[in-house]
């Protein structure tokens, strides 16, 4: 157990208790296998194995003669459905994404450590009491292959290799547009995608490195551009190494990653073939690892929100002196790739909502400028960001701004309206805001106001009653204290956000129809800016809390839950973060935003102000 502690590093008391109770079971059962099968003494057991390009760890992986056994131990007397699904997902992902598991049998075994009785089967999973594990392992190991599993090869950094069939299935699903909501951006993204393809071809031909920045207001189509590039076959044709896929889409937005993977799940592999989290990618290829990925094209969504060095130190539990910003990490990863690399950064405006995200786009300039091979880099972007990159080779390309597309004008008007509404700058130009609200109304984007939550819910249900494909849901600020406490019970938001940590629930909340119990259309569970950023709904019912209210002609944040210092990272401007939070919440709807302002004395000024600048009361 002490060796596991040293290997894992920071761990919780519950993890330690789990190790002390489960490891002896494994030692005893493995010992029994070795006693009656001498060959088994040469097998390998890997404890706390981290899945390739993942943060998830498997309790134990046994590398037998011709197969792989995935073991998950639970301190229970019986298996639950969640336990069975967990170990089955581990086995599935090893089979789909680990190079040495593609052609081998991967067997999931769940061991409730307090279980007694016979071995049971739950779907594809063996549920085994600890005292029967030795006989199950002996049964699984058929020794039918001439070659044994090589533990060094299994644990090597280049083990991540998606099944080629999985890559093709994901591409087919994406390009078939059978996931239509991914293709519903307001902008025509063809020009930007064509421009990036030209840059990729030039980088490959000249063996150089490129940073490409694509800008756009919320809803303009940045994520679609990134997904189109990740699913493109062009980088594969130009790659200098043989790989199933030479492009990948990354986001630091965990909720966005969960929802995208859920939408791609029918292609197999849990929808992870092209969509991954930034933190896991850096964990695998960043810092001092020296590991080289297969990806010549790396797409970083919401790149303006990249973590600075103090936040990276906190997230990865590093001393500050050893930490790099995320842009520095990606520049270093790109420079380790042989021949060429293109890093595509998708840049939104006013989307920095976390501690550690406030450094913005300037971090990317600093990362390129400070690299050991800065001369090999060319930065591409629209004219609006050129001033951020003095002293670097910059090529201006207006097609990389999605704001100029004809169909993006509606999103641009909404962005201007919301920016003028929530900006800390005072006084407000209420005449201009009212004009923008009128323009939005004429173009079919509706702003509504209610003081009774039931009225707002009834409006959305009635509006979309005959449109089952539409999605509408509840949004609220994570720093509000009033919506679940200070209003009558029937007017309260459910702000118990613990359900959000369950990855299985957020995907259905966004994607599924009303027949699904977790669909957003039920208007039961609310989400915050953290789950909403980068994603859209057709209709939004936004609970406007008392953390951001109009008082004396300015925005008052005195009632919000305070920001706490988080390790090395510190808040630079809490007022701007609060404004950005409401900016995100107000720009999630395609059709209509209904703002619910609770009937509280401190909220009166907010309700009056919102109605004055264009929100129409229900």
Site of tokens 């404004």: 579
Q: CA 63 to CA 43: how far, in whole Å?
A: 6
CATH of the domain at 377: 3.40.50.300
Q: CA 194 to CA 338: how far, in whole Å?
A: 24
Question: Is the dihedral angle over the CA atoms 68, 72, 78, 84 positive or is it negative?
Answer: negative
What are the tokens at 559? 């009632």
Backbone angles phi, psi at 185, to 5 degrees: -70, 160
Backbone angles phi, psi at 202, to 5 degrees: -65, -40
Half-sphere exposure of 90 (CA within 13 A, CB side): 27
- Both 129 and 276 in a single domain? no
- Both 524 and 541 in a single domain? yes
Question: Which of 272, 278, 320 lies closest to 303 in space, CA to CA?
Answer: 278
pLDDT given for residue 406 in this prediction: 38
What are the tokens at 155? 């644990």
pLDDT given for residue 136 in this prediction: 86
Q: Note the pTM of the prediction, 2 decimals.
A: 0.78
Report yes or no: 597 and 607 within 8 Å, Cβ to Cβ. Answer: yes
- 159, 190, 222: which is the final residue of a domain? 159
- 128, 159, 190: which is the final residue of a domain? 159
- 113, 134, 159: which is the final residue of a domain? 159
Q: CA 385 to CA 467: how far, in whole Å?
A: 40
- Both 466 and 602 in a single domain? yes
- Both 195 and 239 in a single domain? yes
Rounded to the nearest 10 degrees, the angle between the axes of helix 133-140 and helix 13-36 is 60
Q: CA 188 to CA 183: how far, in whole Å?
A: 10
* Per-position b or e across 45-79, b if 16+ CB within 10 A of its CB: ebbbbbbbbbeeebbbbbbbbbbbbbbbbbeeeeb
Question: From residue 412, how far is each of 419, 550, 576 by CA, in Å?
Answer: 10, 25, 20
What DSSP letter does each residue of 458-512 carry, written as one string?
A: HHHHHHTTT-TT--EEEEE-TT-SSTTTTS-GGG-----GGGGG-HHHHHHHHH-
pLDDT given for residue 569 in this prediction: 52
Strand ranges for 113-183 from DSSP E:
120-122, 125-127
| End-to-end CA, the chain | 62
Helix (H, G, I), strand (E, B) or coil at 367: helix
CATH of the domain at 55: 3.40.1350
- Both 49 and 73 in a single domain? yes
- Both 69 and 88 in a single domain? yes
Question: Which of 270, 283, 257 lies closest to 163 in space, CA to CA?
Answer: 270
- Both 485 and 527 in a single domain? yes
- Both 132 and 221 in a single domain? no
- Both 357 and 229 in a single domain? yes
Site of tokens 């984007």: 445
- Both 105 and 205 in a single domain? no
Q: How would you list the strands of the sheet with 341-347, edge to edge?
A: 275-277, 247-251, 297-301, 341-347, 209-215, 377-381, 394-396
Report yes or no: 404 and 596 within 8 Å, Cβ to Cβ. Answer: no
Q: CA 185 to CA 177: how far, in whole Å?
A: 13
pLDDT average per 10 residues of sequence, the chain (618 residues): 63 68 73 66 82 84 87 90 89 89 90 91 91 84 72 85 81 76 67 95 95 85 90 89 85 88 88 90 80 91 83 72 85 90 85 45 91 92 92 94 59 85 89 94 90 95 91 90 80 69 78 92 90 87 92 88 58 76 90 94 95 96
Question: Which of 438, 455, 171 lies closest to 447 in space, CA to CA?
Answer: 438
- Both 317 and 336 in a single domain? yes
Q: Which domain holds residue 461?
A: 406-617
CA angle 527-533-534, nearest 5°?
130
- Both 344 and 427 in a single domain? no
Q: CA 464 to CA 454: how far, in whole Å?
A: 16
Report the number of distinct structural domains present in the chain. 3
Question: From residue 536, how far is each of 127, 193, 540, 542 by CA, in Å?
Answer: 41, 21, 9, 13
Q: Bin 495: left if φ > 0, else alpha if -120 < ψ < 50, else beta.
A: alpha
Share in percent of the chain as helix, strand, coil (round to 5): 45, 20, 35
């Amino acid at each position: 157990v002490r060796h596991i502690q040293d290997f894992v590093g920071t761990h919780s008391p519950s993890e330690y208790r789990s190790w002390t109770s489960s490891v002896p079971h494994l030692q005893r059962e493995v010992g029994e296998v070795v006693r009656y099968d001498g060959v088994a003494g040469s097998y390998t057991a890997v404890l706390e194995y981290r899945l390739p390009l993942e943060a998830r760890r498997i309790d134990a992986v046994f590398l037998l003669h011709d197969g792989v056994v995935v073991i998950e131990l639970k301190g229970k007397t019986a298996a639950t459905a969640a336990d069975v699904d967990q170990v089955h997902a581990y086995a599935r992902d090893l089979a789909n994404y680990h190079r040495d598991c593609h052609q081998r049998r991967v067997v999931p075994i769940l061991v409730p450590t307090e279980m007694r009785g016979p071995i049971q089967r739950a779907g594809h999973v063996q549920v085994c009491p600890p005292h029967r594990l030795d006989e199950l392992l002996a049964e699984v190991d058929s020794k039918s292959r001439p070659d044994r599993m090589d533990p060094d090869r299994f644990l090597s950094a280049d083990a991540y290799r998606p099944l080629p069939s999985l890559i093709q299935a994901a591409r087919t699903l994406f390009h078939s547009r059978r996931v239509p909501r991914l293709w519903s951006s307001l902008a025509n993204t063809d020009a930007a995608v064509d421009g990036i393809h030209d840059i990729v071809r030039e980088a490959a031909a000249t063996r150089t490195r490129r940073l490409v920045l694509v800008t756009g207001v919320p809803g303009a189509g940045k994520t679609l551009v990134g997904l189109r590039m990740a699913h493109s076959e062009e980088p594969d044709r130009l790659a200098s190494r043989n790989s199933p896929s030479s492009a990948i889409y990354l986001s630091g937005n965990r909720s966005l990653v969960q929802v995208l993977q859920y939408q791609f799940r029918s292609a197999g592999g849990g929808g992870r073939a092209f969509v991954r989290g930034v933190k896991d990618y850096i964990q695998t290829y960043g810092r001092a690892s020296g590991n080289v990925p297969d990806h010549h094209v790396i797409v970083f969504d919401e790149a303006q929100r990249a973590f600075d060095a103090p936040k990276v130190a906190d997230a990865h539990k590093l001393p500050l002196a050893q930490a790099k910003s995320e842009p520095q990490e990606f520049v270093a990863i790109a420079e380790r790739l042989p021949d060429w690399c293109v890093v595509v950064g998708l840049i939104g405006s006013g989307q920095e909502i976390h501690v550690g995200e406030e450094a913005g786009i300037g971090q990317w300039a600093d990362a390129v400028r400070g690299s050991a091979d800065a001369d090999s880099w060319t930065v591409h972007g629209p004219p609006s960001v050129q001033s951020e990159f003095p002293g670097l080779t910059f090529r201006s390309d207006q097609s990389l701004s999605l704001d100029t597309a004809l169909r993006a004008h509606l999103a641009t008007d909404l962005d201007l309206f919301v920016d003028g509404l929530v900006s800390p700058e005072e006084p407000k130009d209420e005449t201009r805001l009212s004009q923008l609200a009128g323009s939005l109304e004429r173009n079919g984007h509706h702003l509504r106001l209610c003081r009774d939550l039931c009225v707002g819910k009834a409006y959305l249900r009635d509006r979309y009653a005959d449109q089952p494909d539409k999605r509408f849901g509840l949004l609220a600020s994570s720093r509000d204290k009033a919506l679940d406490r200070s209003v009558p019970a029937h007017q309260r938001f459910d702000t118990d956000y613990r359900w959000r940590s369950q990855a299985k629930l957020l995907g259905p909340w966004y994607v599924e129809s009303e027949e699904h119990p977790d669909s957003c259309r039920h208007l039961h569970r609310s989400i915050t800016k953290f789950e909403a950023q980068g994603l859209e709904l057709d209709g939004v019912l936004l609970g406007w809390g008392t953390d951001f209210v109009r008082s004396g002609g300015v925005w008052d944040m005195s009632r919000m839950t305070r920001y706490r210092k988080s390790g090395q990272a510190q808040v630079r401007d809490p007022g701007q973060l609060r404004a950005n939070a409401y900016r995100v919440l107000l720009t999630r709807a395609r059709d209509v935003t209904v703002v619910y302002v609770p009937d509280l004395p401190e909220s009166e000024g907010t309700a009056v102000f919102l109605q004055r600048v264009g929100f129409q009361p229900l």
